[in-house]
Each structure stands twice: as structure tokens, then as C-alpha cells.
Amino acid sequence: MPSTWLFLDLNSFFASVEQADNPALRHKPVGVVPMIVDSTCCLAASYEAKAFGVKTGTSVRDAKKICPGIIFIVADHRKYIRYHKQILEAVESCYPISAVLSIDEMAFELTGRDSIEENAIKKAYQMKEAIYKKVSPALSCSIGLAPNRYLGKVGSDMQKPDGLVIIRPNEIPTVFYSLKIKDFPGIGHRMEKRFFDYGCYTVEELYKLSASQLRTIWGGIIGEEFWQAIRGENLLDKATQTRTIGHSRVIAPEHRRDRSYIKAICMQLLTKACIRLRDGNLYARVLQFNAKYLDNTEKSYWGKKIKFEETQNTLFLTSELEKILRKLPTGNILQIGITLMGLVQEKSHQMSLFEDKRDKPLMEAIDKLNKKHHKNLIYPASSNLCSDKTPAKIAFSRIPGEEE
């Protein structure tokens, strides 16, 4: 008996969590933002706000114009993680989770009698009810039932909010003909343009392409895997390799020219990235810094990178970051970003003659203390200006620990 995949996507998760946490916000337009300033944008919007045209990426200034009365809430990372865990517990009371894909997406491989359509539908409604009763009636989800996980995700996007879409094998591909090519996960604006350049404009035309043609459009084997996925074939999950680790932050208006404060923020972000680096048993060979300026000049974006022997030592990396920050141009800085690249797995790590073997246990001990106390108990003195004052960035695809 073939398996059935159930893909669960929580609706407007961040905004819905705010409504769940504060009943006074329910049935009202809500926008989740990094800070309360007109120059930033909405990270998420409630369905009441979406009805006016507010969506992820809409500027606060525009949201106020198109949605009078919208209520803006500063994103609260720890709150979203807390609700995420409650939701996992609720749905797992119905069926074991096969994969947690992001903070608001999870998938279940239904096997045996549970994969029969009638039983799969019952499981879907049980999960909806579990979230409603055990977590909050303000939270809803859309579910896709399909032959594989990929099409389950497509189905979950076809009916929102609170939808349930069944993708039956004998209805593929006609069930998707009303969609646009960009509605398939993995096809963004640039990839959609490749399809258009190839002469493929509709989903119906997409399904007529061969696996080799899709490989040509995609520029690699992913095209052939996509050909299989959209036909309902079950593909084995590949172990993903982390290529970069980074954090970014929007700077509040009152600090955009304050170089001491910006340096403190940078050091805090780098410290978080280093913790993730060590958690993943990885070493970095490149440190990239980016800054986005508000000034309408040629230097709207500025970036520098430094290469070095592979390391996971926070103290060494902070000294390298200081070298970059000494060259930071003046101006109003809107956003900064820190990225560690050129990552090497521990099993492939080559020790340097100058590497101090005492560094690793020291860093691990610091990480253990910080995680135990769920805050930056130990941190570089250079980040003292913003210690415990900067909210964690909202997590879309990665589920960070509460200590971040």
C-alpha cells in the first residue's frame, strides 16, 4: 500500500501567534515588524490585514495607507518558538512527525491503513482540532494530502486559510492547471523567467516538458528531480549541507549613525553565528560583512570579506570583524549582516600549526553556560552596549534555539 504525505502549513503563523497570545488582537488587522518605524517592512500580516493588501514585505508606511487601523507588533522570537513547540506536541498526539521543515511547516508520512484517503482525511482534521483545542483557537493550518511531500506542500498552498486539499494520483497533472508556474516551491522570479525564455508559460506546458528539458532549464540534476516530484514520485531525502551561517539586523533610527552601538550589534550577531557554527560541528574560512545605507548615494550597499584558516573561535573572528568595521563608511546604516562562509565539516577539518587546542573546550564551555541560562551570560565586552536589548530576528526557515 503506497504511503500518503500530509503536509501541514500554519496560516500567517507569526501574526496568528500574536492574536493567540493577546485575544484583544483577534479579528483585527495585525502586522508583525522588526521595530516600530515607517521605514521598515512587515515580516508577517494577519488575514484581516491581508484582506486590505498588506503582505510580507509591505512597508509600514504603505500598510498604514492601505489598511487604516492596522496594529503593529514587534516580532518576539521566543514567543514563536514557544508556540511552535506547543503545536508540535499537539499534532504529535495525532501522528508522529516525519519532518519539521520550518517554524510553521511540518510533514507526516502516513503508512498502512492511515494512508487510505478516508483515514488520512480523519488524521488531517484531528490535527486541526488538536491545534485549536490544545494550543489556541486563533491558530489555523492548511493541509495538503498527496502522494509525496513536495505535492503535499503545493496542496497546502492551494486553499488558505484553514484549507484541506487532496491531490489524488489520477488527478495529476490536471489538478494543477489553474496554478502559475511560480506557485511550485523552488520556482522564484528568476527561475520562472528561465521557463518563459524556454517558451513555457503555463503549468500545462510545464508538464509536457521532458526530464532532460527540465534539467536544461534548471541547469542541473535538480530539474530531473523536479520532473519526478511533480508527478508524485517519492524521492529520498538528501542530507543537506550548511553552506553559510549568518544573522542580520535592522538598526533603529536613533542608532543609525552611532558606530559604537553598531559595532556592539555586529559583535552580538557574530557571537550567535559562532554558537551555531560550533553546534553544527563546522569551521569557517570566510567572514562577510554587509551594510545597507539609507543615504541616496552610490554607497547604498557596502560589504567586505576576510579569508583565514578554518576556525570556530569566537575571539579570533571578533578580531577579524573589528578589522572590517574600522573601514566602515560613514552614513545612516539601515541594516547590517554578518555571514560565515567557506564552511568545513569537523571530519574534514585540518588543524593549523598555530591552532591552540585549548580554544575548543573553552568555547564549548561558554556555549554550555549561555544555553543553560537562555541568554548571553558570557559575551564579548564589545557587544555590551546592546546586551539583552536587541530582540532576536524572526525565524522563517530555521528554528533557532531559545538561547539565540
Report how far Cα 402 is from the mean position of its chain's Cα atoms: 15
**Looking at domain 245-386, which of 3.30.1490.100, 3.40.50.10540, 3.10.20.30, 3.40.50.2300 is its CATH number?**
3.30.1490.100
What's the confidence (pLDDT) of residue 386?
54
Question: Which residues fall within 8 angstroms of residue 204, CB to CB, at 6 or more apart?
Answer: 173, 177
What is the rounded CA–CA span in Å between residue 354 and residue 132? 57
Cell readout for 359 is: 580554544
What's the confidence (pLDDT) of residue 366?
59
Cell readout for 191 is: 527561475
Identify the CATH homologous superfamily for domain 1-170.
Reverse transcriptase/Diguanylate cyclase domain (3.30.70.270)
Sign of the torsion angle spanned by Cα atoms 203, 205, 208, 212: negative
User: Is residue 29 reached through a cis peptide bond, with omega within 30 degrees of 0 on the bond before it?
Assistant: no
Domain 173-231 = CATH 3.40.50.150 = no
What's the confidence (pLDDT) of residue 361?
60
Half-sphere exposure of 364 (CA within 13 A, CB side): 9
Longest CA pairwise span in the chain (Å): 65
What is the rounded CA–CA span in Å between residue 54 and residue 44? 9
Domain ranges of the chain: 1-170, 173-231, 245-386
Question: Which residues fall within 8 angstroms of residue 345, CB to CB, at 6 or more apart?
Answer: 241, 281, 282, 283
What's the confidence (pLDDT) of residue 35?
86
What's the confidence (pLDDT) of residue 353?
44
For the beta sheet containing 30-33, the strands, ordered from the edge strand earlier in sequence to the opposite edge, are 44-45, 30-33, 71-74
Phi–psi pair at 49, nearest 5 degrees? -75, -35
Pairing of strands 333-341, 282-293: antiparallel
What is the rounded CA–CA span in Å between residue 280 and residue 101? 17
Report how far Cα 263 is from the mean position of its chain's Cα atoms: 25
Query: Between the CA atoms of 148, 153, 156 and 160, what dihedral angle is there, to the nearest 10 degrees?
Result: -170
Pairing of strands 282-293, 344-345: antiparallel
Q: What is the pLDDT along the chain (404 residues), one digit of tens a residue?
A: 466 999 999 999 999 999 999 999 999 999 999 888 888 889 899 999 999 999 988 999 999 999 999 999 999 988 999 999 999 999 999 999 988 888 999 999 998 899 999 999 999 999 999 999 999 999 999 999 999 999 999 999 999 999 999 999 999 999 999 999 999 998 988 899 999 999 999 999 999 999 999 999 998 898 999 999 999 998 766 555 678 898 988 888 888 989 999 999 999 899 889 888 888 888 998 999 999 988 655 458 899 989 888 888 888 898 899 999 999 998 889 899 999 988 888 777 665 544 445 555 655 665 665 655 554 545 555 555 554 444 445 555 555 555 45
What is the rounded CA–CA span in Å between residue 229 and residue 214? 12
For the beta sheet containing 4-10, the strands, ordered from the edge strand earlier in sequence to the opposite edge, are 99-102, 105-110, 4-10, 141-146, 164-166
Picking from 100, 56, 92, the residue whose alpha carbon sits closest to that of residue 75 is 56
What is the rounded CA–CA span in Å between residue 127 and residue 165? 14
Cell readout for 343 is: 564552511
Q: For 153, which DSSP code?
A: H
Number of Cβ atoms within 10 Å of the Cβ of 390: 17
The b-or-e profile of 337-369 (16+ CB within 10 A means b, else e) is: bbbbebbbeeeeeeeeeebeeeeeeebeebbee
